[in-house]
Structure 1
Amino acid sequence: MDRDAYHGAFRFASRQSGAWVCVYRAGRRVDARCDPGQPDFLFVRRGNAAIIRNGRIHGVPDLIVEVLSPGNAAYDKQVNLPAYALEGVPECALIRPMIRAVSVYRLDRLGRYAAPGEASSSDVLTFDCLPGLAATVNDLFEGAPDTTF
């Protein structure tokens, strides 16, 4: 699945909320201490913008989003997700395009995410750090090729 389709959806989300200062795509490191630390997307709230310097993130973003594929799903769940929790990323979403579903993990204490909230099709997707936004999972996949068959 082309991540550009998701990038458009997240840009829309950031415009709707007015709370976001940036959306970064793959290839940006979250923090030098966080390995691997290169999420598909990350969001930084306007109030946290000081962590962005010289086009890089030097601190903990407010939200990380990973798009899972058969080749990276296990790695993202077993390596990336625990690393993001250890860094203190408050929310992390794992998008599963093959079944058009999203798991949203919220930090319940430093180093550990609570059990994920699950959303699919017409379920409304929300993030604690983005209270002004509510969209269905179907909205996220609007315009994307159908990968469910």
Structure 2
Amino acid sequence: MLTKDQNLLFLESKIQEIKIALFKAEINSELQLPNNIISTIKTDSEGNVWFFTSCNGAYAKNLDKTFFAYLEYYQKGQDFRLRLSGKASIVEGEENDNNSSVATAPIKRGSIVLIKFKIINAEYFEHKPCINVSVKDKVKTFFTDIFIPNSHRMYDFS
């Protein structure tokens, strides 16, 4: 059985392998962040994923600063996908200063925001390619699949 740290290291390696995800904010408000394709900047040992997402500058200051969100990591040609859910926070100026490794090129104020996403739940799906196998191998695989867990893993970090 994997420990929490091993699970987190496994997830970090998969996130860094793909780096690109679909971001969906679940804000119960009329003002929302749009669903976006994001690029992961970094992950840390506390289970946070850091990234930028676009935001309409006119109402950026009126958004909820903490909200529930999803990240879906998938890349064509990869044999897996990863769905993370958790608490996202819009990072303000002074918190950003403490994480100087996240700072990048100058950004037009209000056009994009820095998000710190705390992983609460993770689902890992592995897709094995379908290949031609004999009936004997199919029967053997059938019985081993009954006793060996499937390729879908769930992690709870709450």
Same fold (TM over 0.5): no
> Which protein, 1 or 2, shows the higher relative CO under an 8 Å CA cutoff with sep ≥ 6?
2
- Give the TM-score taking structure 2 as reference length: 0.27
- Give the TM-score taking structure 1 as reference length: 0.28
Rg larger in structure: 2
